[in-house]
Structure 1
Amino acid sequence: MDLQFTDEQNMLRDMTRNLCADHSGTDIVRKMEDDPLGVPADLWQQMRETGLLGMAIAEDHGGMGLNMLDCAVIYEQLGRNLAPGPYFASTVMSAGALKHAGEASDRRELFGAIAAGDTIVVPAWLEPDHGFGPAGVQLRAERRGDAYVLTGTKRHVFHAVAAQKLLVLARTGDAPEAIDLFLVDTDTPGLQLTQQRSMASDTQYRVDFDQVRVSADRHVGAEGRGWQAWEAAMYEGIILLAAFAAGGAERALEITVQYSKDREQFGKPIGAFQSLAHYMADAAAVVDGAKVLVQEAAWAHAAGKDIRRLAPMAKLFACKAFRDVTSVAQQIHGGIGFTLDYDIQLFYRRAKQLQMNWWDSRYLEELVAADILDRDGERTIPDPFTA
C-alpha cells in the first residue's frame, strides 16, 4: 500500500480545505441545523463550480471520475468542517446505486444533472422498526399494468425536501432479496414528507407512501437486483463516511488541544496536567490509526482489491474514534463543552449520529465477522444481510 499522496491528491485536499474554510465554517453548520432544506447555498454553488459534486461519477457521464482514494482525501476535509448538505446522499449513494444497477447508459442525463448539482436524488431506504439488511425493506411495490404502486413508510431520508427525486428501495416479492429500485419525483401525489429531529440536527425526513403510482420506466436496473446494487454502493459509501469521521475526529482533537493551552487552572494551562495530556496523546494515536485504516480501504478499492472486510472495518473504527475522541474532548472542556456557545458540541453530536447512520456498529461487526469466518464459502454465523 502506497500512502504517499500524489500532487493531484494534495491539490484536491488543499482546494477542499480552502473551500470549506470560506463557505463551511461553524457559523454555516449552525445555520443549517434543523433547516428544512439543509443546503448551504454558497457551499453548494462552490462545489458545483469546482466539480466536487461529480467527484465519484465517471467523466463520460459528466463527473470528475476520481478514484476512491482521491474521494477519501476530499471527504476527510469535508469531515474536518462538518460540511452540511446532500452531496453524500445524492452524488455518492444514489449515483452509486444507479451505476451498480446498470443504469449508466440509460440515464446519462440524470448522472450529468447530479454531477452538476442541478438535480438532487436522495435514497429512501430505512423503515420504522426494521433492520439494515434486505429483510428490513418492507415497503411494497405492486405491479399494476404499466405502473407500480408503492405503499409504506421510509425514515431517515436525508434532505428529502431539497431533492427532486427519491431513489426508493421497495419489495416486489416475498424472497429475501426481492427488492427493486425506483425513481420517484418528490412532488408525486400520495407522498407526504415530515421532518424528523435528530441528535445532529441534520435534516432528515419521514416519507409516507400512500398508493404512490410510479410508471414502469422509473424502475431502475434488472428486476429483483435492487438490493445487490444498493449493497455495492453502500460498501463504497461507508469508506467515504469513514474518511469524514476521521477528519472530524482530527479537527475535534485540534480544537481541544488549543483549548487546553488557553484554559488555565491553578496557575498553568490545563494541558500541562498529566492526566489530560495522556488523554490527548491516546486520542492522537486513535485518530492516526483511523486515518491509516480509511486510506487503506480507499486504496484497496482504487486498486481493484476486495473491500468486503476493509470497508466495514474502516467505518466501524473511524466512527468509534470520532465518538471516543469527541467524548474525551467534551470532558476536557468540562461543562461549557456542552453549551451551544462552544463548537466542540457540534462535533460530539455528529460523531454519535454518524456512528448510528447508514450501517451502524453492530451491523458492521456482523459484516466483518462474516468475512473472517466465511473462509471456505459456507457461513458459520447467521447471514447479517437478513438481519
Structure 2
Amino acid sequence: MDLKFTEEQHILRDMVRSMVEDHSTTAVVREMEHDKIGVPTGLWQQMSEMGLTGMMLPEEYGGIGLDMVDCALIYEELGRGLAPGPHFVSSVIAVGAISRGCSEQQKAELFPAMGSGELIVAPAWLEPDNGFGPLGVQMRAENDGDTFVLNGVKRHVFYARAAQKLLVLARTGDAEADVDLFLVDTDAEGVTLEQQRSMAYDTQYKVTFTDVAVPAANKLSGGWSNWHDVLMDGCILQAAYAVGAAQQALDITVRYANEREQFDKPIGAFQALAHYMADAQVDITGAQVLVWEAAWAHREGKSVARLAPMAKLFCCNANRDATAKCEQIHGGYGFTMEYDIQLYFRRAKQQQMNWLDSRTLEDMISADILDTDAITIVNPFKV
C-alpha cells in the first residue's frame, strides 16, 4: 500500500479544508440543526463550483471522476467541519446506485444535473422495526403492467425535503434477495413527508408511500447486489468522515486543555487528562490508516468486502470513544449547548448507527474472515 499522496492530492485537501473553514463553521452547523431543508446555501454552492458534487462522476457527464483515495481525503475534511447537507446521500450513494443500475440514456439525463448540484436524490431504505439486510425491506412494489405501485413506510430518509427524487428500495418478490431500487419523484401523488428528530439534530424524514405509481423504466438494474456495492463505497467515506470529525474534536479539546486552568496550571498538565488525549490520538491515527488502506484497495480494484466494513466499524467506534473522552475533559461545560464539543459528541454516536450499525458490520466481517464452508455464519445483510 502506497501512502504517499501526490502534490495534486495535497492541493485538493487544502482546497477542501479552506472551503470547510469558510462555509461549514460551527455557526452554519448549528443553523442547520432541525432545519426543514438542511442544505446550507453557501456550502452547497461552493461544493458545486469546486466540482465536489460530481466527484464520483466521469468527465463525460460533467463530473471530475476522482478515485476513492481522493474522495476519502475530501471526506476527512468534510468530517472536520461536520459538513451538513445532502452530499453523501446524493453525490455518493445515489450516484453510485444510478451508475450501476441505470441506462446510458438515464445517466445522460440525471448526471449533469446531479453533478452541478441542481438535482438531489435521497435514498429511502430503512423501515420501522426492520433491519439493515434484504429482509429488512418489506415495503412492496407490485407490478401493474407498465408501472409498479409502491405502498409502505421508510424512515431515516436524509434530506428528503431537499430532494427532487427518492431512490426507493422495495420488495418485488418473496425470495430474500427480491429487492429492487426505484427512482420516485418526491412530489409524486401518494408520497408524504414527515420530519423526524434525532440526537444529531440533523435533517431526516419519515416517508409514506400510498399507492404511488412508478414507471417500470424507473426500476434500476442490479437489485440488492447493486445496493450492497454502493454501501461498501459509502462505508469507506463514512469512515473517513468519522476520522476527520474525531481529529477536529480532539484539536478543539487540546486547545481547551491548554487554556483552561485549575490549581494555577492548564488542565492538560494533569497526567490523567493528558493520557486521555494521548489514547484518543492513537485511536484516530490507527483509524486513519485503515481508511487509507480501504480507499487504496478500492482504487486498485481489490476486494473491500472486509476492509470497507472494518473501516466504518473501527473509525466510527474511534470517533465515539474520542469524542466521549473530549466531553469528559471539558467537564460540565462539554454538556452545554454553548460549547462546540457537544456537536461532535452527538453526531459521533448517531454515525455509529447509520449506514450499517456496529452489529451488522461485525456480522459482515466475521462472515468474511471465517471459513463459511465449515461453519454457518448468520449474516443478515448479505444473501
The TM-score with structure 1 as length reference comes to: 0.97
Q: What residue is the counterpart of 2:278 in the other structure? A: 281
Is 1:235 the counterpart of 2:232? The answer is yes
Q: What residue is the counterpart of 2:5 in the other structure? A: 5
Q: What residue is the counterpart of 1:147 in the other structure? A: 147
Q: What residue is the counterpart of 1:205 in the other structure? A: 205
Contact 1:161 1:193 in 2 (8 A): yes
Aligned residue pairs total 383
Structure 1 unaligned blocks of 5 or more: none
Is 1:327 the counterpart of 2:324? The answer is yes
Query: C-alpha displacement at 1:374, in angstroms?
Result: 3.5
Q: What residue is the counterpart of 1:303 in the other structure? A: 300
Q: What residue is the counterpart of 1:134 in the other structure? A: 134
Is 1:187 the counterpart of 2:187? The answer is yes
Task: Give structure 1 regions of 4+ aligned residues with deviation exceeding 3 angstroms.
Answer: 102-106
Contact 1:104 1:111 in 2 (8 A): no
Identity %: 61
Rounded to whole Å, the distance in 2 between the matches of 1:33 and 1:374 is: 45
Contact 2:134 2:380 in 1 (8 A): no
Rounded to whole Å, the distance in 2 between the matches of 1:322 and 1:311 is: 16
Is 1:336 the counterpart of 2:333? The answer is yes
Q: What residue is the counterpart of 1:43 in the other structure? A: 43
Structure 1 residues 29-56: Cα deviation after superposition (integer angstroms, max 9, x where no partner)? 0000000000000000010101001111
Query: C-alpha displacement at 1:104, in angstroms?
Result: 4.6
2:207 is paired with a residue whose SS is: strand
Of 349, 374, 380, the residue aligned with 2:376 is 380
Instruction: From the superposition, tell whether residues 136 and 145 of structure 1 become closer, same or farther in structure 2 (CA, over 3 Å).
Output: same
Contact 2:99 2:107 in 1 (8 A): no
Letter of the 2:95 partner, please give it.
Answer: A
2:132 is paired with a residue whose SS is: coil
Letter of the 2:285 partner, please give it.
Answer: D
Is 1:294 the counterpart of 2:306? The answer is no
Q: What residue is the counterpart of 2:74 in the other structure? A: 74
Is 1:244 the counterpart of 2:241? The answer is yes
Query: C-alpha displacement at 1:379, in angstroms?
Result: 5.7
Contact 2:147 2:216 in 1 (8 A): yes
Q: What residue is the counterpart of 2:196 in the other structure? A: 196
1:107 is paired with a residue whose SS is: helix
Q: What residue is the counterpart of 1:370 in the other structure? A: 367
**What are the within-5 Å matches in structure 2 for residues 263-274 of structure 1?**
263-274=260-271
Contact 1:246 1:291 in 2 (8 A): yes
**What are the within-5 Å matches in structure 2 for residues 21-100 of structure 1?**
21-100=21-100
Query: C-alpha displacement at 1:292, in angstroms?
Result: 0.4
Rounded to whole Å, the distance in 1 between the matches of 2:382 and 2:18 is: 43
Of 256, 281, 289, the residue aligned with 1:259 is 256
Instruction: From the superposition, tell whether residues 140 and 379 of structure 1 become closer, same or farther in structure 2 (CA, over 3 Å).
Output: farther
**What are the within-5 Å matches in structure 2 for residues 161-176 of structure 1?**
161-176=161-176
Query: C-alpha displacement at 1:18, in angstroms?
Result: 0.3
Structure 1 residues 283-319: Cα deviation after superposition (integer angstroms, max 9, x where no partner)? 1100100100001000000011110000000000000
Contact 1:373 1:380 in 2 (8 A): no
Letter of the 2:172 partner, please give it.
Answer: T
Query: C-alpha displacement at 1:375, in angstroms?
Result: 5.8
Contact 1:150 1:212 in 2 (8 A): yes
Q: What residue is the counterpart of 2:160 in the other structure? A: 160
1:327 is paired with a residue whose SS is: helix
Rounded to whole Å, the distance in 2 between the matches of 1:138 and 1:144 is: 18
1:368 is paired with a residue whose SS is: helix
2:277 is paired with a residue whose SS is: helix
> Root-mean-square deviation (CA), in Å?
1.2
2:180 is paired with a residue whose SS is: strand
The TM-score with structure 2 as length reference comes to: 0.98
Rounded to whole Å, the distance in 2 between the matches of 1:69 and 1:9 is: 9
2:274 is paired with a residue whose SS is: helix
Rounded to whole Å, the distance in 1 between the matches of 2:292 and 2:382 is: 29
Letter of the 1:165 partner, please give it.
Answer: K
Rounded to whole Å, the distance in 1 between the matches of 2:281 and 2:255 is: 14
Structure 1 residues 227-277: Cα deviation after superposition (integer angstroms, max 9, x where no partner)? 110110000111000000000000000000110000000110000000100
Instruction: From the superposition, tell whether residues 165 and 145 of structure 1 become closer, same or farther in structure 2 (CA, over 3 Å).
Output: same
Rounded to whole Å, the distance in 2 between the matches of 1:292 and 1:139 is: 39
Query: C-alpha displacement at 1:384, in angstroms?
Result: 2.9
Query: C-alpha displacement at 1:383, in angstroms?
Result: 2.9
Rounded to whole Å, the distance in 1 between the matches of 2:291 and 2:244 is: 10
Contact 1:243 1:291 in 2 (8 A): yes
Query: C-alpha displacement at 1:207, in angstroms?
Result: 0.2
Query: C-alpha displacement at 1:107, in angstroms?
Result: 2.2
1:44 is paired with a residue whose SS is: helix
Query: C-alpha displacement at 1:155, in angstroms?
Result: 0.3
Instruction: From the superposition, tell whether residues 369 and 321 of structure 1 become closer, same or farther in structure 2 (CA, over 3 Å).
Output: same
Instruction: From the superposition, tell whether residues 178 and 319 of structure 1 become closer, same or farther in structure 2 (CA, over 3 Å).
Output: same
Instruction: From the superposition, tell whether residues 374 and 93 of structure 1 become closer, same or farther in structure 2 (CA, over 3 Å).
Output: farther
Query: C-alpha displacement at 1:214, in angstroms?
Result: 1.0
Rounded to whole Å, the distance in 2 between the matches of 1:104 and 1:315 is: 32
Contact 1:54 1:63 in 2 (8 A): yes
Letter of the 2:298 partner, please give it.
Answer: H
Contact 1:370 1:384 in 2 (8 A): no
Rounded to whole Å, the distance in 2 between the matches of 1:89 and 1:45 is: 17
Rounded to whole Å, the distance in 1 between the matches of 2:88 and 2:304 is: 19
Is 1:358 the counterpart of 2:376? The answer is no
Contact 2:141 2:171 in 1 (8 A): yes
Contact 2:360 2:379 in 1 (8 A): no
